[in-house]
Amino acid sequence: MEIDSELLPGKFTQALLTSSKHLSNWLKTNFLMLDNNWWESLVLPALSYQQKQWVDRKQITTIEKLDLAALLRVLDRNWYQFTQKFNFSTQERHYVKEMQTIRNRWTHIDNQDVDLDDAYRDIDTIYRFLQIFSTCAIEIMNIFWHLRSKFKLKFFFFKPVFTFFVPFNSSD
């Protein structure tokens, strides 16, 4: 089923920005567990030549300033270290690889019609990718519901993932 290509790019931009935000936060938090000098030892060596040039030119010194392509590359290049710490599966590695493809497809979108099956698969992969990091991405679920209502899709369901934070009470 083909749809008007003007309908989905904005929703996917939103999904990719959400992914970037969650991934940068997760990386920042968890790189500290691997190495105190993580920016120099784990981030900069993982970047491509062009990404390193961009970081130097823009004087970027924080992971939050990296774009999704750079964040995904950093995650991919440090996968072994994270697998040792978090016991990630090969399926989860596959989602990282698929995210690189999805990011490229939607960043470099052409004027061809968007295939609804591909759009559904992409948003499903984004959702599953974010589950790796125990992220309950309401924004991604909203995009699913948008697709469902717009195109009257009958079979949409989620395996919800919720992260609960228990506040620390220092008076106890």
**Domain coordinates in residue numbering, the chain:** 2-151
Residue 62's identity, in one-letter code, is: T
Helix axis angle, 49-58 to 68-77, nearest 10°:
130
Look over the chain and give the mean of its residue pLDDT values, rounded to a whole number: 80
pLDDT of 139 reads 65
- The better pLDDT of the pair 25, 116 is held by 25
**Distance between CA atoms of residues 25 and 78, nearest Å:** 16
* pTM greater than 0.85 (yes/no): no
> What confidence tens digit (pLDDT) does each residue in 53-102 have?
999 999 999 999 999 999 999 999 999 999 999 899 999 999 999 999 99
